[in-house]
């Protein structure tokens, strides 16, 4: 997943959202969405799991635990809270990765740059910023999911669609910012 890097780590989220949006919030619709999200990630993201990429494991855990809770234990009341559960988990994980000094994007970024840059302060700061942007997006999307849950009308649907706009914005930032830093400082010396 080197070319897609961190962005492919969000494949389960996008697949789940699209399929759940089409299939609806019935138990069978959510089960199909969860299975598709997990299957797609296991096909495309298997190497990230083997490499111990934190985001890969968090995504697989979120969707696997949800699948077991809903499909095996019949905890159907969880379904309306799925967006809140997913974005809370992602936000806590992302902020936690920064707080422990291991912003999750570092793992992906290290696959794309020379080893001599790994410990450079600018490289680390860039990854803290990128991870922070993702954390901010997850928090905003958590708010949108709360609005969608509390207001299942047009406003709720707009909030739900807005989550994808913010994910796309974070993805664009993730592509743009490293290139911006490289152009500004051709060789990260500090």
Average pLDDT per 10 consecutive residues for the chain, totaling 190 residues: 64 89 89 94 86 91 96 96 97 98 94 91 95 98 97 93 95 93 66
| CB 128 within 8 Å of CB 94 | no
Q: What's the confidence (pLDDT) of residue 95?
A: 98
Nearest CA among 137, 162, 166, 167 for reference residue 151: 162
d(CA 133, CA 150): 26
Q: How big is the chain by its Cα radius of gyration, in Å?
A: 17
pLDDT of amino acid 167 = 95
What does the pLDDT read at residue 187?
55
Q: Which two tokens stand for residue 70?
A: 């809903």
b (16+ CB within 10 A) / e for 95-126? bebbeeeebbbbbbbeeeeeeebeebeebbeb
* Domain regions of the chain by residue span: 5-183
Q: Can you tell me the distance from the alpha carbon of 41 to that of 53, in angstroms, rounded to the nearest whole number?
A: 13
Task: Please state, in angstroms and rounded to a whole number, the distance separating the CA atoms of residues 27 and 79.
Answer: 8
Between the alpha carbon of residue 139 and those of residues 8, 119, 133, 160, the distances in Å are 20, 28, 10, 14
Residue 29 near residue 23, CB atoms below 8 Å: yes
DSSP state of 24: -
Comparing CA positions, the residue from 138, 16, 116 lying closest to residue 67 is 16
CA distance 40 to 11: 8
Predicted TM-score (pTM) above 0.75: yes
């Amino acid at each position: 997943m080197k070319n897609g890097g961190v962005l492919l780590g969000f494949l389960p989220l996008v697949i789940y959202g699209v399929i759940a949006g089409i299939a609806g919030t019935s138990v069978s619709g959510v089960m199909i969405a969860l299975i598709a999200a997990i299957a797609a990630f296991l096909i495309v993201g298997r190497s990230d799991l083997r490499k111990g990429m934190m985001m890969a494991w968090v995504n697989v855990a979120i969707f696997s635990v949800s699948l077991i809770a809903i499909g095996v234990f019949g905890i159907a009341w969880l379904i309306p809270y799925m967006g809140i559960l997913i974005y809370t988990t992602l936000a806590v994980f992302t902020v936690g990765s920064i707080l422990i000094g291991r912003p999750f994007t570092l793992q992906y970024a290290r696959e794309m740059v020379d080893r001599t840059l790994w410990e450079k302060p600018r490289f680390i700061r860039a990854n803290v910023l990128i991870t922070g942007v993702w954390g901010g997006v997850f928090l905003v999307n958590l708010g949108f999911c709360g609005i969608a849950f509390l207001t299942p009308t047009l406003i709720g649907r707009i909030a739900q669609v807005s989550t994808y706009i913010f994910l796309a914005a974070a993805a664009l930032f993730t592509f743009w910012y490293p290139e911006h830093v490289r152009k500004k400082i051709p060789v990260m010396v500090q």
